[in-house]
Structure 1
Amino acid sequence: MAFRRLLREREFLCPEFHHLPTGEDPRKLFPELKFPVVVKARRLSGSRGVIRADNSEELMRAVNWVRAIQSRADRDAQDLGLIIEDFIPGREYALEGTLERGELTTLALFDKPDPMDGPYFEETLYITPSRLPEALQDCIHEDVARACRVAGLAAGPVHAEVRVNDQGVWILEVAARSIGGLCGRVLIHFLGMSLEELILRQAVAEPLPIAGEGGAAGVMMMPIPRRGIYHGLEGLAAAQAVPGVTGVAITVQPGEIIAPPPDGASYLGFIFARAASPADAEMALRIAHRQLHFDIRPEYPATVAPAAEKP
């Protein structure tokens, strides 16, 4: 929360927020809230425990739900409480970068083509290079760089999430980490090395001879359609054969109980693509995903009760 307060003090465009301690009645915040709002767990990942509420009734349900999720997932849930922040309309983008002596280098700016308007916020597609106008891309870079400076970040990886609308660039997150999951693999052909190698080289002051290739690339975090037990899939070979697809990684394991956000914290896997243009990379990912058919069964198979015996 300290970083959020710092952004607000330095007059960044960022969501207004309120801290709701554990056990406190959210109705006390009603006079201060401007709906829609987003209820967030404090330190979960993968869109877990994030729910949009459009009115006071939805807010009460969302608070109870997110509190239950956080209490199961974080042993410090009692001390953390929740965040309730303004929902910011607009398209969302992610910046992946590195800092050296306080200077930000943008490695990639990712479009997120699928709208993220809620009520839940599962991420799906990351496509680079961005199709935003260059001037707007520069604005995102400058705002993230300034946020890093005011936060005292000077070296190492940076992952930032922003929203863009008619009012400008809104900072949602700036974190001293790299992109999560397997998504960093999408940058190998741009960097000429893995993102992890680049970060380690920078940490030990090794040269960074970035000699990658051009073009476009994308990754799909395959969404979980419903809660259940994963048993397997069909169509993997067909997905791998789609032109432009460079890899399909299934990370879920047979027998694993899975769930979509806001309860779930993972994906079915990842699809990677390279193409001449961002639009072609996006299309390859969507076509490959349509080839995959996942066998997800209920946790407890339905049973038919025996008919009662006639007297």
Structure 2
Amino acid sequence: MNSFTEHRRGRNRRLLLVHPNSQLPWIFDAADAAGIDLVVLPREGARGDASQFPAVVEVLDAGIDSVDELAAIHADRPFDGAFSPYDPSVPFTARLCERLGFTSVSTRAAKISRDKSEVRKQLQACGGNVLRNVVVDPLAEPDIQSLSTVGLPAVVKPLDGYGSLGVCLLQSYDDVAEVFTKSAAARMTATTAVRGDLLLLLEEFLPGPEFVVESIVLDGDVFPLVLGDKGRPQGPYFEEGDYIAPATVSSDVAKAIVDEVVNAHHAVGIKSGPTHTEVRLSSAGRPFILDIGARFGGSGVSHFMVQAATGIDFAGEVLRQCVGLPTTIRDGVAPGVLPPTVAWSANYIIPIGSAGIVADVVGLDEIERDERVAHTFKLVESGDHLLPYPTFSGHPGFILSRHLSRTSVEDLHQRLAERVAVTYLPSHAPV
């Protein structure tokens, strides 16, 4: 055990936090406020030092990669629960929780949530809205007849993608080989992948608005906490951008979205923990699930979005659930019904721009003086190499804010678009 942990022993429950983003504070702060000790398993090569945060009592070797190893540590220094905010690590963490008898999303639901095709099959079986889709192997000869059942334009994405990784718009069958190759190549840059991991989903494209619902699930009851607006991305790639909550929609549209999201939880079998569900509307106003993750959105950014807009301690509720402490979410919040909001919360994701070798992120000093800005996070450093979409090599940074009107959000985000940017070294400069 590292020396920095000694003075923190003897606090309340111990939670194993698997592969968090150690540059973002919310999960750590929530654990500290709840009196929960955190044992952190960092990702290999990830930036940030978890030991700088409150509540962290131990940092494990990043090379630990098996349930057996963690079970052995548990036998020596017991945990009371385990949780991962990192999408690719959710199934692994679910297996560990099942082995140790912890409260968690089930291994089956965790696996389904990481497979976009399987999510759609489960939605179909439960009467959900499902877009036309087909699974394709980018290494095989394209079957245009099969692809034509989806129609054009269509969206191509890796089955287990996240963060807009490998998401491309296909507008012509003449471009099939090129687009499939781009999507699969983006998937390969994210993690080591075998052939089976490279399967892609080709799905009907909806040009309508995109939304996100942050939820917590307790004993199978789904509590939607906030409905956010993510704009209307049109491709050819789908870089993450503005996220504003609450969304500006009618009560009927909000109810339709929430009802579809709740049904998706039941279809996938998510009965515990936080979720981050992305939705698009058809021209007729029907909501379609794009993705459902059994985790926080943005490695904890969703906590800020929920708390700033509603006052609900999203991360605190989740962590207490994980270690068996009482939760309060049922007090005044009903399953399947959005709670009232008290403000607008917003996340401006700094765009990658031209991509290349990072020189700096300019404009942050001025923006930090704006009283509406709650947090600024610069997540890249000079010399980092950012790749262009559809590859996802990380967000340059987040600017989170709280507002008393939607107009205030739009005004700030316009200022950010004009003043904050990633600058890059000239292409001929030595790396």
TM-score (norm 1): 0.88
Aligned length: 301
Q: Are the counterparts in 1 of residues 138 and 181 from structure 2 also a CA contact under 8 Å?
A: no
Q: 1:208 aligns with which of 328, 349, 352?
A: 328
**Mapping of 1:46-125 within 5 angstroms?**
46-80=163-197, 81-113=199-231, 115-125=232-242
Identity, in percent, stands at: 24
Alignment match, 1:196: 315
Alignment of 1:173 with 2:301, yes or no, is no
Name the structure 2 match of 1:306.
none
Match of 1:240 in 2: 368
Structure 2: stretches of 5+ with no match in the other structure: 1-116, 333-339
Residues 262-277 of structure 1 correspond to what in structure 2 (within 5 A)?
Answer: 262-277=390-405
Partners of 1:105 and 1:30 lie apart in 2 by 37
- Residue 277 of structure 2 is matched in structure 1 by 160
Say yes or no: does 1:222 pair with 2:339. Answer: no
Q: 1:201 to 1:40 in 2, by over 3 A?
A: same
Cα distance in 2, alignment partners of residues 11 and 148 from structure 1: 13
User: Does the CA contact (< 8 Å) of 1:257 and 1:299 recur in 2?
Assistant: no
Cα distance, 1:241 vs structure 2 = 2.0
| C-alpha RMSD over aligned residues | 2.3
Distance between the aligned counterparts of 2:251 and 2:298, measured in 1?
Answer: 26
Deviation, 1:192, is 4.5
Which amino acid in 1 is paired with 2:423? D
For residue 293 of structure 1, report the CA deviation from its aligned partner. 4.0
8 Å Cα contact 1:17/1:85 also seen in 2: yes
Query: What is the CA distance between 1:296 and its match in structure 2?
Result: 0.9
Given that 1:97 and 1:158 are in contact with CA atoms closer than 8 Å, whether structure 2 keeps it comes out as: yes
Distance 1:213 1:111 in 2: 14
Larger % of strand: which? 1
How far does the alpha carbon of each residue in 1:14-34 deviate from its partner, in whole angstroms, 9 at most, with x for none? 222111125211234344330
Query: What is the distance in 2 between the residues matched to 1:71 and 1:127?
Result: 31
Q: CA deviation at 1:35?
A: 0.5
- In the TM superposition, residue 298 of structure 1 has moved relative to its aligned partner by 4.1
Which structure 1 residue ranges, 5 or more long, are not aligned? 303-311
Per the alignment, residue 305 of structure 1 pairs with: none
Distance, in Å, in 1 between the alignment partners of 2:248 and 2:188 is 40
Q: Which moved more, 1:152-161 or 1:199-208?
A: 199-208
Shift of 1:182: 4.9
CA deviation after TM superposition for structure 1 residue 197, in Å: 2.0
Report the CA distance shift for 1:183/1:286 in structure 2 as closer, same or farther (over 3 A): farther
**Given that residues 51 and 120 in structure 1 are in contact (C-alpha distance below 8 angstroms), is that contact kept between their aligned partners in structure 2?**
yes
Residue 157 of structure 1, CA deviation: 0.8
Q: CA deviation at 1:93?
A: 0.1
Cα deviation code 1:250-271 (max 9, x no counterpart):
1111110012310233211001
In 2: Cα distance, 1:298 partner to 1:13 partner: 47
Which secondary structure does the structure 2 equivalent of 1:105 belong to? strand
CA gap of 1:89–1:105, structure 2 versus 1, over 3 A, is same
Aligned mates of 1:237, 1:111 — CA distance in 2: 27
Matched with 2:91 is none
Q: In the alignment, is the contact (CA less than 8 A) between 1:127 and 1:217 conserved in 2?
A: yes
Q: Which segment drifts farther, 189-198 or 177-186?
A: 189-198
How far 1:207 moved relative to its partner? 3.0
Q: CA deviation at 1:142?
A: 1.1
Structure (1 or 2) with the greater helix fraction? 2
d(CA) in 1 for partners of 2:295, 2:235: 25
Match of 1:148, SS? helix
SS at 2:319 equivalent = helix
Cα contact 1:243–1:284 (8 A) shared by 2: no
Q: TM-score, normalized by length of structure 2?
A: 0.65
How has the CA–CA distance of structure 1 residues 275 and 133 changed in structure 2, closer, same or farther, with 3 Å as cutoff?
same
Question: What are the Cα deviations for residues 266-287 of structure 1, in whole angstroms up to 9, with x where unaligned?
Answer: 2110011111112312321331
Q: Structure 2 counterpart of 1:152, which letter?
A: G
Native 8 Å contact 1:218 1:272 kept in 2: yes
Secondary structure of the residue aligned to 2:298 is coil
Pair 182,9 (structure 1): closer, same or farther in 2 beyond 3 Å: closer
8 Å CA contact 1:201, 1:208 repeated in 2: no
